[in-house]
Amino acid sequence: MHTDSVQWQLEVDKQDIAYLVSIFEAYENFAVVRTTDPSRGLVELMISPDYLEETQKLLDSLAKEISLRRV
């Protein structure tokens, strides 16, 4: 477990993984996305503690465009 970041597990549609990654790449300091199981659409966000609130707001906004949920 990383001590310098907070990990959230998400489940998204497989075809949306690349989109999710590109969004978080655009918001450089929020989080790093790691695909843990591409066949099931499972990804891990490694979030900077300073950006937890902003990351949640971004996910809330993305949830209006794509299917995603925390697991």
- pLDDT tens string 2-36: 568 999 999 999 999 999 999 999 998 899 999 99
Is beta strand 68-70 parallel, antiparallel or unpaired with respect to 31-37?
unpaired
Q: What is the pLDDT of residue 4?
A: 86
Number of Cα atoms under 13 Å in the Cβ half of residue 21: 14
Asked, for residue 1, whether it belongs to a domain, the answer is no
Residue for token digits 């655009």? 26
Asked, for residue 29, whether it belongs to a domain, the answer is yes
CATH code for the domain in which residue 30 is found:
3.30.70
- Domain assignment of residue 50, given as a range: 6-70
Task: Identify the bridge partners of residue 42 per DSSP, sorted by sequence position.
Answer: 11, 37
